[in-house]
Amino acid sequence: MPEKTTPAPKHERISGSVERVTFYSEESGFSVLKVRVKGNRDLVSVVGTSPAISPGEFVECQGIWHNDRVHGLQFKAEHITVIPPTTASGIEKYLASGMVRGIGAFYAKTLVREFGARVLDVIENTPEKLLDIPGIGKKRLDIITKSWAEQKAIRDIMVFLQSHGVGVARAFRIYKTYREDAIRLVTENPYRLSLDIEGVGFLTADTIADKLGISQDSLIRAEAGVRHMLQELATEGHCAVPAERLIAESAAMLAVEVDIVTEAVKQQTEKKHLLCEEIDGRQCLYIAPLYRAERGVASGLHRLMEGPLPWKEVNPDQSIGSVEQKTGLLLSPSQKEAVALVLKSKVSVITGGPGVGKTTLVNVILSIISSLNVKVSLCAPTGRAAKRLSESTGLEAKTIHRLLEFDPILFNFKRGEGNKLDTNLVVVDETSMVDVILMNKLLLAIPDKAALLLVGDVDQLPSVGPGAVLSDIITSGVIPTVRLTEIFRQAAESSIIINAHQINQGKIPTNADGDALTDFYFIASTTPEDIHRKLLTMVTERIPKRFGFHPVRDIQVLTPMNRGGLGSRSLNIELQQALNKESMPQINRFGTTFSPGDKVIQMVNNYDKEIFNGDIGLVVSINTDEGVLSVEYDRRVITYEFSELDEIALAYATSIHKSQGSEYPAVVIPLAMQHFTLLERNLLYTAVTRGKKLVVIIGQPKALATAVGNHRANQRLTNLSRRLAECTETP
Predicted confidence (pLDDT) per residue in 572-629, tens digit: 999 999 998 888 888 887 778 899 999 999 987 787 787 887 889 999 999 877 778 9
Give the highest mean pLDDT range of 308-317, 408-417, 683-692.
683-692
Q: What is the mean pLDDT of residues 692-698?
A: 95
Judge whether 402 and 433 are in contact, CB under 8 Å.
no
- In percent, the amount of the chain with pLDDT more than 90 equals 46
Please report the pLDDT score of residue 289 as a whole number.
92
Tell whether residue 357 is among the known ligand binding residues.
Answer: yes
Share of the chain above pLDDT 70, in %: 92
Tens-place pLDDT, residues 110-133 = 998 889 888 888 888 898 999 988
Place 729 in a pLDDT band, splitting at 50, 70 and 90: very low
- 359 in a labelled binding site: yes
Q: Is 599 annotated as a binding residue?
A: no
pLDDT tens string 73-99: 889 988 787 777 777 877 887 777 666
Domain 307-486: CATH class, spelled out? alpha beta
Write out pLDDT tens, residues 482-524.
Answer: 998 888 766 667 899 999 999 999 999 988 776 778 899 999 9
Q: Establish whether 358 is an annotated binding residue.
A: yes
pLDDT for the residue numbered 718: 94
* Residue 691 assigned as binding residue: no
Task: Write down the mean pLDDT value for the chain.
Answer: 87
Q: What average pLDDT does the segment 670-695 reach? A: 90
CA distances from 52 to 57, 83, 134, 160, 619 (A): 11, 12, 29, 16, 29
- Please give the pLDDT value at position 324: 84
Kindly report, residue by residue over 223-251, the tens digit of the pLDDT.
999 988 888 888 888 999 999 999 999 99
Report the alpha-carbon angle 71-72-74, nearest 5.
95
Could you tell me which residues are beta bridge partners of residue 694? 666
Above 70 in pLDDT, residue 165? no
Of 357, 361, 400, 359, residue with least CA distance to 377: 400
Task: Return d(Cα 484, Cα 502) in angstroms, integer.
Answer: 15
Give residue 163's pLDDT: 67
Q: In this model, does residue 435 exceed pLDDT 80? A: yes
Question: Residue 198: is its pLDDT beyond 70?
Answer: no
Say whether pLDDT at 70 is over 90. Answer: no
306 secondary structure, DSSP code = S
161-170, 307-316, 592-601, range with greatest mean pLDDT: 592-601
Q: Are 375 and 423 in contact (CB under 8 A)?
A: yes
pLDDT band at residue 728 under the 50/70/90 scheme: very low
In CATH, what class is 494-699? alpha beta
CA terminus-to-terminus distance, the chain: 75
Query: What span, in angstroms and rounded, lies between the C-alpha atoms of 420 and 394?
Result: 25
Confidence (pLDDT) at 539: 96
Residue 674 pLDDT > 50, yes or no?
A: yes
Query: Please, are residues 669 and 697 in contact by the beta-carbon 8 Å criterion?
Result: yes
Domain boundaries for CATH 3.40.50.300 within the chain: 307-486, 494-699
- Note the CATH number of domain 12-134: 2.40.50.140
